Protein backbone atom coordinates (compact mmCIF):
# COMPACT_ATOMS: atom_id res chain seq x y z
CA UNK A 1 0.00 0.00 0.00
CA UNK A 2 2.83 2.38 0.88
CA UNK A 3 4.45 2.07 -2.55
CA UNK A 4 1.14 2.75 -4.29
CA UNK A 5 0.70 5.90 -2.20
CA UNK A 6 4.25 6.95 -3.00
CA UNK A 7 3.74 6.41 -6.73
CA UNK A 8 0.46 8.34 -6.68
CA UNK A 9 2.06 11.09 -4.60
CA UNK A 10 4.80 11.52 -7.20
CA UNK A 11 2.30 11.48 -10.07
CA UNK A 12 0.11 14.10 -8.40
CA UNK A 13 3.13 16.23 -7.50
CA UNK A 14 4.45 16.31 -11.05
CA UNK A 15 1.02 17.23 -12.38
CA UNK A 16 0.42 19.87 -9.71
CA UNK A 17 3.83 21.45 -10.18
CA UNK A 18 3.25 21.72 -13.93
CA UNK A 19 0.32 23.98 -13.08
CA UNK A 20 2.14 25.82 -10.27
CA UNK A 21 4.95 26.64 -12.68
CA UNK A 22 2.75 27.63 -15.63
CA UNK A 23 -0.14 29.53 -14.03
CA UNK A 24 2.01 32.38 -12.68
CA UNK A 25 3.66 32.57 -16.10
CA UNK A 26 0.21 33.21 -17.56
CA UNK A 27 -0.17 35.92 -14.90
CA UNK A 28 3.00 37.58 -16.26
CA UNK A 29 1.43 37.67 -19.71
CA UNK A 30 -1.93 38.82 -18.32
CA UNK A 31 -0.23 41.72 -16.55
CA UNK A 32 1.34 42.72 -19.87
CA UNK A 33 -1.72 42.11 -22.08
CA UNK A 34 -2.67 45.25 -23.98
CA UNK A 35 -5.49 43.95 -26.19
CA UNK A 36 -8.87 42.92 -24.72
CA UNK A 37 -9.04 39.75 -26.82
CA UNK A 38 -5.55 38.71 -25.71
CA UNK A 39 -6.48 39.37 -22.08
CA UNK A 40 -9.71 37.36 -22.43
CA UNK A 41 -7.87 34.40 -23.98
CA UNK A 42 -5.17 34.40 -21.28
CA UNK A 43 -7.76 34.75 -18.53
CA UNK A 44 -9.71 31.78 -19.87
CA UNK A 45 -6.50 29.72 -20.07
CA UNK A 46 -5.60 30.63 -16.48
CA UNK A 47 -9.07 29.79 -15.17
CA UNK A 48 -9.11 26.41 -16.91
CA UNK A 49 -5.60 25.59 -15.72
CA UNK A 50 -6.46 26.49 -12.12
CA UNK A 51 -9.53 24.23 -12.20
CA UNK A 52 -7.45 21.46 -13.79
CA UNK A 53 -4.53 21.63 -11.34
CA UNK A 54 -6.53 21.89 -8.11
CA UNK A 55 -7.45 18.17 -7.92
CA UNK A 56 -3.80 17.25 -8.54
CA UNK A 57 -2.76 19.37 -5.57
CA UNK A 58 -5.39 17.76 -3.36
CA UNK A 59 -4.22 14.31 -4.45
CA UNK A 60 -0.57 15.18 -3.78
CA UNK A 61 -1.36 16.45 -0.30
CA UNK A 62 -3.64 13.53 0.61
CA UNK A 63 -1.20 10.86 -0.61
CA UNK A 64 1.70 12.68 1.03
CA UNK A 65 -0.10 12.68 4.36
CA UNK A 66 -1.32 9.09 3.97
CA UNK A 67 2.18 7.66 3.49
CA UNK A 68 3.40 8.22 7.06
CA UNK A 69 0.02 7.12 8.41
CA UNK A 70 0.35 3.80 6.58
CA UNK A 71 4.04 3.28 7.41
CA UNK A 72 3.98 4.71 10.94
CA UNK A 73 7.20 6.64 10.25
CA UNK A 74 7.13 10.24 11.52
CA UNK A 75 10.74 11.43 11.23
CA UNK A 76 11.76 15.06 11.71
CA UNK A 77 12.41 15.65 8.03
CA UNK A 78 8.81 14.59 7.33
CA UNK A 79 7.52 17.45 9.47
CA UNK A 80 9.56 19.76 7.25
CA UNK A 81 8.04 18.26 4.11
CA UNK A 82 4.53 18.62 5.50
CA UNK A 83 5.27 22.26 6.28
CA UNK A 84 6.42 22.75 2.69
CA UNK A 85 3.22 21.08 1.47
CA UNK A 86 1.18 23.54 3.54
CA UNK A 87 3.20 26.40 2.02
CA UNK A 88 2.49 25.07 -1.47
CA UNK A 89 -1.21 24.81 -0.66
CA UNK A 90 -1.08 28.43 0.48
CA UNK A 91 0.69 29.42 -2.74
CA UNK A 92 -2.01 27.60 -4.72
CA UNK A 93 -4.74 29.47 -2.83
CA UNK A 94 -2.86 32.73 -3.38
CA UNK A 95 -2.81 31.98 -7.12
CA UNK A 96 -6.59 31.54 -6.99
CA UNK A 97 -7.00 34.92 -5.30
CA UNK A 98 -4.75 36.58 -7.88
CA UNK A 99 -6.75 34.92 -10.64
CA UNK A 100 -9.98 36.31 -9.19
CA UNK A 101 -8.33 39.74 -9.16
CA UNK A 102 -7.50 39.45 -12.85
CA UNK A 103 -11.06 38.32 -13.60
CA UNK A 104 -12.47 41.29 -11.68
CA UNK A 105 -10.03 43.69 -13.33
CA UNK A 106 -8.51 44.72 -10.00
CA UNK A 107 -4.93 43.48 -10.47
CA UNK A 108 -2.43 46.23 -9.63
CA UNK A 109 0.76 44.19 -9.72
CA UNK A 110 3.29 44.46 -12.54
CA UNK A 111 4.60 41.72 -14.77
CA UNK A 112 7.92 42.05 -12.93
CA UNK A 113 6.22 41.19 -9.62
CA UNK A 114 4.66 38.12 -11.22
CA UNK A 115 8.05 37.05 -12.61
CA UNK A 116 9.40 36.92 -9.04
CA UNK A 117 6.19 35.32 -7.73
CA UNK A 118 6.62 32.65 -10.43
CA UNK A 119 9.89 31.49 -8.84
CA UNK A 120 8.57 30.74 -5.34
CA UNK A 121 7.47 27.13 -5.98
CA UNK A 122 10.92 26.36 -7.43
CA UNK A 123 12.53 27.02 -4.05
CA UNK A 124 9.89 25.02 -2.20
CA UNK A 125 10.42 22.10 -4.60
CA UNK A 126 14.19 22.24 -4.10
CA UNK A 127 13.75 22.15 -0.32
CA UNK A 128 11.25 19.27 -0.50
CA UNK A 129 13.52 17.20 -2.74
CA UNK A 130 16.45 17.85 -0.40
CA UNK A 131 14.43 16.70 2.61
CA UNK A 132 13.09 13.60 0.85
CA UNK A 133 16.47 12.49 -0.51
CA UNK A 134 18.87 13.34 2.33
CA UNK A 135 16.49 13.09 5.33
CA UNK A 136 18.77 15.41 7.34
CA UNK A 137 16.92 15.16 10.65
Distance CA(105)–CA(73), nearest Å, equals 47
Query: Do the Cβ atoms of 23 and 88 come closer than 8 Å?
Result: no
Q: 6 a known binding residue?
A: no
Instruction: Classify 37 as helix, strand or coil.
Output: helix
Q: 81 a known binding residue?
A: yes
CA 110 → CA 14, 34, 99, 114, distances in Å? 28, 13, 14, 7
Residue ranges at the known binding site for heme: 9, 81
Amino acid sequence: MYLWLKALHLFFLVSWFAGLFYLPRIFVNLAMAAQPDERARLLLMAQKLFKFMTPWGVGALLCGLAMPLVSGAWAGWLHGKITLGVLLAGYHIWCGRLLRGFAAGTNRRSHRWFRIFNELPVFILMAAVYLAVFKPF
